[in-house]
Structure 1
Amino acid sequence: MDGVMADTEPHFFDYYEQETGIRLTRPDIAGKSEHDAFNGIGHQMVNKPGFFRTLPLMEGAVEAVRSLMEDFEVYIVSAAMEFPLSLPEKYDWLAEHFPFIDWRHIVFCGDKSIIKTDFLIDDHCKNLDYCHGKAIMFDAFHNVNLHHHQRVNNWADVLELMKEFRGEESRIESQESR
């Protein structure tokens, strides 16, 4: 959810500037962990009431998720237990921006490795490395130097990639029926 559907970067930049008077840019923090990029105050940011509730949408996310739901069973998975105060905020955020996603398709957990899916779109390798299906890395400042998962830069890339997977699946089904 965070860093894929919800754009956390603007919040991090704004909060960091409020706390330090320094305005960072994406090139300033490229390749750094959230902790290192924001000098350890990132933990304060994510524990501030309203942080998760007011996250902006990632461009194209609503339309793309709606489109994916036509051909795939889509679940929203968030390691929300890391920040327990975020649970109602994340749920309310999803209800506002993605009201078409049934509550039974929202999973708040502590460790995403328990999720067994055909595809996992995430911005953190700590989640993708244990994916049981196809791991898809959504571009973020902290993962720009990592290349061991298939990367997508935005939701348009996700849709294009998933179209390829649908095509492969159709070809396999056609060959099997012969």
Structure 2
Amino acid sequence: MNKKRIAIDMDDVMTDAIGRFIELYQQEFQEDLSDLRLPGRNLTNTVPPERLEAIKQYPHQPNFFKDLEPIAGSLEVVEQLHQRYEIFITTAALEFEHSFTPKYNWLKKHLPFITWKNIVFCGDKSIIRADYLLDDLDRNLKTFTGTGLLFTAPHNAHVTGYTRLNNWQEVAAYFLH
């Protein structure tokens, strides 16, 4: 019997990239950027315009993706899903030149049961052949041919048209019960 396939994004689904933006902003400007976590917020409508271009460069820094904090529940639920489904981690690691190795190391450290055969570093997720794609960006879900599941993040609070999973407890309920 073939297991169904779930493709899972990393940034702002399994890892807290928003937290890294907040951390680096605090270091650079000595100001709080925690409003970035509020529903409907993103860099463009949260960061002062004169700082926006500098902040958008953060993911290009060598250590931006290193040791990102896991999103609460993600590691445990992915491990549970792995028992019933074929799991593929599908992450954009080519947009930011320093992201590939830190992302790969994060996966080896936190999800050692996911083998290299089930890790897909890509740019365009339309190439992914799976039954489900769990992602925070609707641009990736639009081109996906299976069932797209929107993982809630502040920047997608107003996106509609997809089944929305707000946290990893809801992911577990969707797939495991």
State the TM-score, normalized to the length of structure 2: 0.85
- 1:116-147 CA-to-partner distances (Å, cap 9, x unmatched) read 21000000111111111111111111001112
Equivalent position amino acid for 1:84 in 2: E
Change (3 A) 1:35 1:79: farther
Residue 81 of structure 2, aligned match among 68, 90, 96: 68
Q: How does 1:150-169 map to 2 (within 5 A)?
A: 150-163=163-176
- Separation (CA, whole Å) in 2 of partners of 1:37 and 1:119: 32
Which consecutive residues of structure 2, in runs of 5 or more, have no partner in the other structure?
1-9
Q: Is the 2:37–2:154 contact (alpha carbons within 8 Å) kept by the matching residues of 1? A: no
Displacement over 6 Å in runs of 4+: none
Change (3 A) 1:140 1:87: same
Q: Is the 1:35–1:42 contact (alpha carbons within 8 Å) kept by the matching residues of 2? A: no
State the TM-score, normalized to the length of structure 1: 0.85
Aligned-pair Cα RMSD in Å = 1.7
Equivalent position amino acid for 1:163 in 2: L
- 1:15-56 CA-to-partner distances (Å, cap 9, x unmatched) read 112222321224675324445444233332111122111200
Residue 15 of structure 2, aligned match among 6, 14, 27: 6
Structure 1 stretch displaced more, 131-140 or 31-40: 31-40
1:56 aligned onto 2:69: yes
Partner of 2:156: 143
3-state SS, counterpart of residue 148 of structure 2? strand
- Separation (CA, whole Å) in 1 of partners of 2:81 and 2:90: 15
- 1:60-118 CA-to-partner distances (Å, cap 9, x unmatched) read 11110111111110000011111122111110111111111101000001111111210
Q: Is the 2:36–2:42 contact (alpha carbons within 8 Å) kept by the matching residues of 1? A: no
Partner of 2:121: 108
- Separation (CA, whole Å) in 2 of partners of 1:27 and 1:51: 17
| Identity of matched residues, % | 38
- Separation (CA, whole Å) in 1 of partners of 2:170 and 2:53: 32
Which consecutive residues of structure 1, in runs of 5 or more, have no partner in the other structure?
165-178
3-state SS, counterpart of residue 14 of structure 1? helix
Q: Is the 1:6–1:55 contact (alpha carbons within 8 Å) kept by the matching residues of 2? A: yes
Larger strand fraction of residues: 2
1:127 aligned onto 2:136: no
3-state SS, counterpart of residue 134 of structure 2? strand
Structure scoring higher RCO (CA < 8 A, sep ≥ 6) equals 2
Q: How does 1:23-102 map to 2 (within 5 A)?
A: 23-26=32-35, 30-38=39-47, 39-102=52-115
- How many residues are treated as equivalent by the alignment? 164
